[in-house]
Chain A
């Protein structure tokens, strides 16, 4: 059995209450950190652990923490990014629903490490039930002396608040999130300055994903070195994967990084294979913005090596034949799914969610949506595919925040790998919406790599 660092007690009845959580060893990391460690010791352990941000970018958390400016007399803030809205991702909702105290425990230890006296958990507005759960859990923790003034008699004070968003994907971008927390439109800020220098209210701020904050708890309990023993290479520890789409067992799974993707997809411990006896056509491995891969390229790298669930292996082949770990939003497509329709759907999403600040993203996402809509509905032209690639290239890298890239990659990768299906939509307009192109050759074994001639 794989080790569970976050979800070990997920099935314990009442684990969402303080007393049960505490009886299972909860809040031990707060006692350890506040009573036996200095804030810098905590930062050092997190650095040693190699923990990489679990929200999508995969930037080392300890390093992000060490960038935090510490001018005298200026408040510092920790803000938890719980604005989970990347299509395919639902791990943070799960964690907050069933293990609210794990997040709060992680927030206390992390706030202590950063010297924050006030911290916020920014939760997407649609998650009102989770906001209520967190607020109740915060009240319980405060009652037990783990929040508020002079925590556990150590002299450390911390107030923790939950802030609802208003329904905007862009607020998952950390500077948009800070704007939103300040009561403004979620327009990302130009960087630099980075939040570590000037974040919330212009003060030094760290923004971390829910799962990253939760992972700090086992790292402090067992030590950063222990954490690196799980995983593979620079992909240390465990990762929550939210698996959905056409699989038998959709849900949230905690995996040890380095698990073969084939095992993740087909074993009953995880996804359980494709539902309804169908075959796998394609996979989006890390949330809608990462490149989509056809089944054959997903299961094996271009060098015919089995692909692993790790940051490096998923990215093997770059954007030509690889993808990204992203947020861990795993979406499987069976043979009945239409890639053109799905690409149009995702692009509509990004068009809807573009904040409108940068014209390449504001206009480009709309153009791509229109072109994909006409392709899907049988009104496309052969030149549309090149047009889409051209527009996507002109968005990518030309915007303040990564939403532009996130919108460009799914389109570029769908055309790269499924061009024949797009062409079929042009050549068979009457069938474009009534019938699917099907599995085609996307699940066939990869062509044998040519041996270099000696």
Chain B
């Protein structure tokens, strides 16, 4: 369940963000602006770290569509976070080919290292992690990605996970 203060967090789209929305809408024929929904939700998530109910309502108003049309899309696609996450979300591929080369051990290691279970946020608010389905990098597993840029980290080992987490910590505290 979302906490009340999270659910009601006020959302304001900056003029810079709105102009990005406008640019996306211009890609589609007149009247087909709903096509911009997925790209716009990505921009919203990049800006706020998740897609909150208020943000979804605002997107609906911007696109002149019903609120439910945004909710049903945001809840269908796995990339949109419908609740707040850590600043860095480590998304580890858990599908077959990556498991053949040790993805399960890497997930166990990340869980132990961060001290939180899948989907939980560390107390400093910096990290959460989850297993995700095939990331189409099966030759270079185990792999993980970190949004909003979706940078890829391939051929993971406990050592490379240590380095990555240390780097992110340094970045996160700045």
Contacts and interface: CB of A to CB of B under 8 A. Distances in A.
A326 interface: no
Among A164, A243, A329, which residue has the most Cβ atoms of chain B within 10 A? Answer: A164
B137 A164 contact: no
Interface stretch (A166-174, A365-373, A387-395, A419-427): A166-174
Interface stretch (B30-38, B82-90, B111-119): B30-38
A181 B39 CA distance: 10
A100 B122 CA distance: 39
B161 interface: no
B136 interface: yes
A329 B138 contact: yes
Interface residues of B, number: 45
Given A128-B149, A182-B34, A166 B41 contact: yes
Contacts, number: 154
B7 interface: no
A245 B103 CA distance: 12
B97 to A, nearest CB: 5
A129 B150 contact: yes
B157 interface: no
B38 A165 contact: yes
Contacts of A87: 95-97, 133-134, 138
B134 A242 contact: no
B73 A183 contact: yes
Nearest to B37: A183
Contact of B136 (A90, A128, A163, A250): A90
B30 to A, nearest CB: 11
A180 interface: yes
Interface string B121-148: 0000000000011111111110001011
Contact of B38 (A125, A251, A337): A125
A124 B79 CA distance: 10
B150 A124 contact: no
- Counting chain A residues whose Cβ lies within 8 A of the other chain, the interface size class is 35 or more
Interface in A222-249: 242-246
A64 interface: no
B15 interface: no
A166 B96 contact: no
Contacts of B32: 182, 201
Interface of A: 75, 84-90, 92-93, 118, 120, 124-129, 159, 161, 163-169, 180-186, 201, 242-246, 250-252, 284, 288, 329, 331, 333, 337, 341-342, 345-346, 349, 352-353, 355
16 contacts: A88-B97, A89-B138, A90-B139, A125-B38, A126-B145, A128-B42, A168-B78, A169-B133, A183-B34, A183-B36, A185-B73, A245-B100, A329-B138, A345-B99, A349-B134, A353-B133
Interface of B: 27, 29, 32, 34-39, 41-42, 63, 65, 69, 72-73, 76-80, 94-97, 99-101, 132-141, 145, 147-152
